[in-house]
Amino acid sequence: MKKILLYSGGMDSWLIDKIWKPDEKVYVNMHTRYSEQEMKKLKLRNENITILDFPLGQFEREDKIIPLRNLYLTMLICNYTGNEDVDICLGATAGDRVLDKSFNFVEKVNDLLNYLYSPQWWIPAGKKIRVNIDFKDKTKSDLLDMYLKAGGTLEEAFNKSFSCYEPDEEGHECWSCKPCFRKFVTFADKGFTFSEDVLKKVIPYISKEIIPQIKSGTYGRGISEESLILSVYEKYKDFDTV
C-alpha cells in the first residue's frame, strides 16, 4: 500500500511526516484565505511535497470550516493514486473535534470507498483503501516526544515546523495567534530556549488573550493544558509588557 500523508503544513503534520514516514506528502491547495501564505511557506522550506489543486475554498465559512473537507480530500487522494492500493493519513490529533476526523467517520468512509473500489469491469482487481487517524490520541507534546525518541532534535522541529495563521510577507511566524502560542507552549514544556523576539510577542498574547479565558473557565481544553499554560506564563512573565 502506498502511504500518503495529507499535509497541512502545520506543526502536527510536520511531526507526523517524520514519525509515520509516508511515501508521499500531498498538500491540497484548496484556495482558502490562507492557501497563498501556506504555499509560500511550503516553497520557502523547499520540501518534497506534491501539490494538488482543488478549490474547496469557495465553500469556506467565516469560521474557516469547510464542511465535508476530509470526505472530499480522501476521495481526491483515491483518484490521484489511480489503481494503486492506498493508506491515507488524515493527520488528525487529540485537539481535533470536527466529525470528519473522528473514528466514526473513518469507519464509514473506509466502508464506502472500499465498496466503490471493489472489483468491477473498470477495475478488475479492485483497489484497497485505508483512511487512518492513527495519531488521533496524540497531543502536540506526544508527537514531539515520539519525534525526539526517533532521533529528531528540538531545534529542527522548532525551526522547520510552521503553524501560524498570520505570518508576515516573508513567511515569518507572528507569535501572537493561537497556533503560534500553542507551538510555543509545547516547546517551552520541553525546555526549549527562545529568542527574546519570540518571547516579547507571545507572552503578551498569552496574558491578553488566553489567561482571561482560563480564569473565566471558557478556554475549554482541559485542566492539564491550562495548568501547563499558566506555569509557562509564570516562567516568562517578565516579558509581559501589557
Q: Nearest approach, Cβ of 48 to Zn ion (angstroms)?
A: 25
> Which uninterrupted H or E stretch holds 24?
strand 24-29
The answer to whether residues 2 and 24 touch, using CB atoms and an 8 Å cutoff, is: yes
Smallest distance, Å, CB 182 to Zn ion? 10
Shortest Å distance, C-beta 205 to Zn ion? 9
Q: Which of these, 211, 201, 218, lies nearest to 234 by C-alpha position?
A: 211
Q: Residue 12 or residue 173: which is nearer to Zn ion going by CB? A: 173
Tell me if 203 contacts Zn ion by CB under 5 A: no
Name which of 90 and 185 has its Cβ closer to Zn ion: 185
Which residues ranging from 164 to 193 are in contact with Zn ion (CB under 5 A)? 164, 173-174, 177, 180
Q: Identify which of residues 38 and 173 has a Cβ nearer to Zn ion in the complex.
A: 173
Q: Determine contact, residues 202/164, Cβ cutoff 8 Å.
A: no
Query: Which 62-91 positions form the footprint of Zn ion (CB under 5 A)?
Result: none
Residues 129 and 48: beta-carbon distance below 8 Å: no
Taking the least distance from each CB to Zn ion, the nearer of 39 and 174 is: 174
Q: Long-range pairs for 159-165 at CB < 8 Å and ≥24 separation?
A: 160/14, 160/45, 161/10, 161/11, 161/14, 161/15, 162/9, 162/10, 162/11, 162/14, 162/41, 162/45, 163/10, 163/11, 163/12, 165/34
Number of residues forming the site for Zn ion (CB under 5 A): 5
- Interaction pattern, residues 117-156, with Zn ion; x per rule: CB under 5 A: ----------------------------------------
Q: Which residues bind Zn ion (CB under 5 A)?
A: 164, 173-174, 177, 180
